[in-house]
Amino acid sequence: MKVLVVGSGAREHCLVDKLSQSSKVDIIYSAPGNGGTAQLGKNVDIKADDLESLLEFALNKKIDLTVVGPEIPLAKGIVDKFKDQGLKIFGPNKELAKLESSKIFAKKLMQKYNIPTADFEVFNQPDLAKKHLEKREFPVVIKADGLAAGKGVIICKDRKEADAAIETIMIDKKFGGAGDKIIIEDCLFGQELSVLAFSDGETVIPLVGSQDHKRAFDNDQGPNTGGMGAYAPTPLLDKQGFNQLIDLVFRPLVAGLNKENKKYKGILYAGLMITNSGPSVLEFNVRFGDPEAQVVLPKLKGDLAEIMLKTVDGKLKETKIEWDKRACVCVVLASGGYPGKYEKGKEIKGIEVAKEQKDILIYHAGTKEKDDKLLTSGGRVLSVVALGDKLKETKDKVYQAVNKISFEGMQYRTDISNKAKFKI
Ligand code: AMP
Ligand code: GLY
């Protein structure tokens, strides 16, 4: 089988790694890929959002399965385009990708199917949004409706901050058209959890729950990032709580959409807050999380290519997924200054030595090879992942590996997985 993976992060390297373990897979192309995917297949110089060129490539090479990593090609309708030409592609169509690309669409569906989420109001005019603030208690959360690279959510502790957020999003148009409409919603408190599930439109199979670390620095300080590390499984929900969550969130959504003749196919990712009154959905994403994929996929036993094909073909019912019971911890190594300004082109040393340790996996993100050297080429540079029996020893193991790797300005959190307080 010929597979095309769209994207260039550590999530995509991890997907390529897992897919390459399938006996069904002969070759994996990555578009555009990175230094890591190049070692497992062929990189193709096409950007992830260049749908026309991706389609042309897939038709020319007779690709049997395309797997889409990031949200933008899904939001732009890559699945519809490929399916129109008879190509198999893993992910939701453009209409259902709105679960991520329009927060209003997602909130309305949650309301319709009684899925727990913060109370909210929608506004398309800044003056009406500001007037609404007169009767609010604070803090409130203000969200741009559209895609804003994870930056379109502003938590406002008072009226002044909320007015400023409305101006930034709706008047200054910091996120462009993504801010034409906004949501103002209640602020929730609790620990955050990421739960992902395969869905073929009828059957839902959850993956193990994980916890991301979005802030740049230890103890959740500093600005929000794409994610600085993750661990799985999490002790935030016990088995019963986890099953209830799937029945409360995933099954009603997929079944409700199915009744409307809309089959959600691909990965459905719920970002949740575990509040005093139970789990509440903060957002849906329509793809694997990054770095969540790096701690969940290494625990997947079995053939990812087969599971993905079954998802696309509506045959997930026939699939049973087993999980490696061990703990998995991922630490993201970033360029100094990330998520703000950072320099590129720094030589990365020590990967081979770090990999000599047992059960260490290293996934590339912003790396590129030049003159036989591996150089940094992005904000998040590498994901260092360890598997181990207990979470505490796995954390120690992953940081031993991290200590063997170096590049100028290397920045990372030293507390990944502490949120679990080592209950597991
Ligand atoms: P989102 O892109 O909607 O997941 O939001 C990004 C981040 O904002 C989340 O990971 C939370 O940390 C925070 N957030 C979003 N919605 C809320 C909310 N209603 N209450 C508190 N924090 C929130
Ligand atoms: N780690 C958060 C995300 O992938 O959206």
Contacts of 69 (CB under 8 A, 6+ apart): 5, 6, 7, 8, 9, 11, 12, 15, 48, 287, 288, 290
Distance 272 CA to ligand 1 centre (A): 9
176-186, pLDDT tens digit by residue? 999 999 999 99
Q: Which of 140-154, 202-216, 292-306 has the lowest mean pLDDT?
A: 140-154
Which pLDDT score, from 0 to 100, does residue 369 have? Answer: 86
Place of tokens 């597979």: 3
Which pLDDT score, from 0 to 100, does residue 381 have? Answer: 98
Distance 106 CA to ligand 1 centre (A): 14
- At residue 107 the predicted structure's pLDDT band, cuts being 50, 70 and 90, is very high
What CA dihedral angle connects 300, 304, 309 and 313, to 10 degrees? 0
**What order of strands is seen across the sheet that includes strand 153-156?**
120-123, 182-186, 140-144, 153-156
> Do residues 266 and 355 make contact, with C-beta atoms less than 8 angstroms apart?
no
Ligand 1 atom at minimum distance from 152 CA = 2
Which pLDDT score, from 0 to 100, does residue 234 have? Answer: 94
Q: Which of 345-349, 356-360, 367-371 has the lowest mean pLDDT?
A: 367-371
Fold of the 125-180 domain = Dna Ligase; domain 1 (3.30.1490)
Does the structure show a pLDDT above 60 at 27? yes
Which pLDDT score, from 0 to 100, does residue 149 have? Answer: 83
Residue 292, ligand 2, Cβ within 6 A: yes
Which pLDDT score, from 0 to 100, does residue 151 have? Answer: 83
For ligand 1, residues with CB inside 6 Å are 118, 141, 143, 150, 153, 155, 185, 187-188, 192, 214, 271, 282-283
- Cα–chain center distance at 367: 19
325-343, pLDDT tens digit by residue? 999 999 999 999 999 999 9
The residue whose CA is least distant from atom 8 of ligand 1 is 153
d(CA 391, CA 420): 9
Which pLDDT score, from 0 to 100, does residue 421 have? Answer: 81
State how far the alpha carbon of 80 is from the alpha carbons of 70, 104, 156, 284, in Å. Answer: 16, 22, 38, 20
Q: What percent of the chain is predicted at pLDDT more than 90?
A: 96
CATH number of 191-322: 3.30.470.20
Residue 285, ligand 2, Cβ within 6 A: yes
Count of beta carbons in the 10 Å neighbourhood of residue 352 = 11
Q: Match domain 327-421 to its CATH number in 3.40.50.10470, 3.90.600.10, 3.30.70.260, 3.30.470.20.
A: 3.90.600.10
- Looking at all shown ligands, the one closest to residue 143's CA atom is 1
> Do residues 166 and 182 make contact, with C-beta atoms less than 8 angstroms apart?
yes
Nearest-5° angle of CA 58, CA 40, CA 356? Answer: 160
Contacts of 72 (CB under 8 A, 6+ apart): 48, 49, 147
Does the structure show a pLDDT above 70 at 422? no
Contacts of 322 (CB under 8 A, 6+ apart): 301, 302
Please list the residue range(s) of the chain that carry CATH number 3.30.470.20. 191-322
Distance 282 CA to ligand 1 centre (A): 6
| DSSP strand pairing (27-32 vs 42-43) | parallel
Q: What average pLDDT does this structure show over 36-50? A: 96
Which pLDDT score, from 0 to 100, does residue 354 have? Answer: 97
Please list the residue range(s) of the chain that carry CATH number 3.30.1490.20. 125-180
Q: What is the mean pLDDT of the chain?
A: 96
Contacts of 392 (CB under 8 A, 6+ apart): 422
Does the structure show a pLDDT above 80 at 423? no
Distance 153 CA to ligand 1 centre (A): 7
Q: Which CATH architecture has domain 2-94?
A: 3-Layer(aba) Sandwich (3.40)
- At residue 424 the predicted structure's pLDDT band, cuts being 50, 70 and 90, is low
Assign 3-class secondary structure to 105-142. HHHHHHHHCCCCECCEEEECCHHHHHHHHCCCCCCEEE
The residue whose CA is least distant from atom 5 of ligand 1 is 153
Nearest-5° angle of CA 169, CA 173, CA 179? Answer: 55
> Do residues 38 and 56 make contact, with C-beta atoms less than 8 angstroms apart?
no
217-226, pLDDT tens digit by residue? 999 999 989 9
d(CA 219, CA 416): 9
Distance 295 CA to ligand 2 centre (A): 12
Please list the residue range(s) of the chain that carry CATH number 3.90.600.10. 327-421
- Looking at all shown ligands, the one closest to residue 150's CA atom is 1
Please list the residue range(s) of the chain that carry CATH number 3.40.50.20. 2-94
Which pLDDT score, from 0 to 100, does residue 150 have? Answer: 78
Ligand 1 atom at minimum distance from 118 CA = 19
Q: What average pLDDT does this structure show over 232-247? A: 95
- Looking at all shown ligands, the one closest to residue 142's CA atom is 1
Distance 324 CA to ligand 1 centre (A): 30
The three-class DSSP label of residue 415 is coil
67-88, pLDDT tens digit by residue? 999 999 999 999 999 999 999 9
